[in-house]
Amino acid sequence: MLKNITMSADEKLIRKAREKARRENTTLNATFRRWLKQYISGNTRTTDYYAFMDSLKYVKPGRRFSRDELNE
């Protein structure tokens, strides 16, 4: 069950965070829930890696690259 909470932050900061979330095809609420899970589980290198990779899901290169292109 989801529980609502109220938080406060600078209006400009919230607007910029919402814009970033929109560019990443997510919401500020989803981003906060992901951060909250990471916060309670501790900051391990693996967790940081997966969070970083998850944040890049919106990137679409448009094609597959060859091994040589990837090595460049």
Task: Quote the pTM value.
Answer: 0.55
Spatial separation of the C-alpha atoms in residues 49 and 65, rounded to whole Å: 22
Spatial separation of the C-alpha atoms in residues 70 and 72, rounded to whole Å: 5
Spatial separation of the C-alpha atoms in residues 18 and 29, rounded to whole Å: 9
Residue range 29-67, pLDDT digits in tens: 999 998 888 888 776 777 788 888 888 888 888 888 899
12: pLDDT confidence band, cut at 50, 70 and 90?
very high
Provide the pLDDT for residue 18: 95
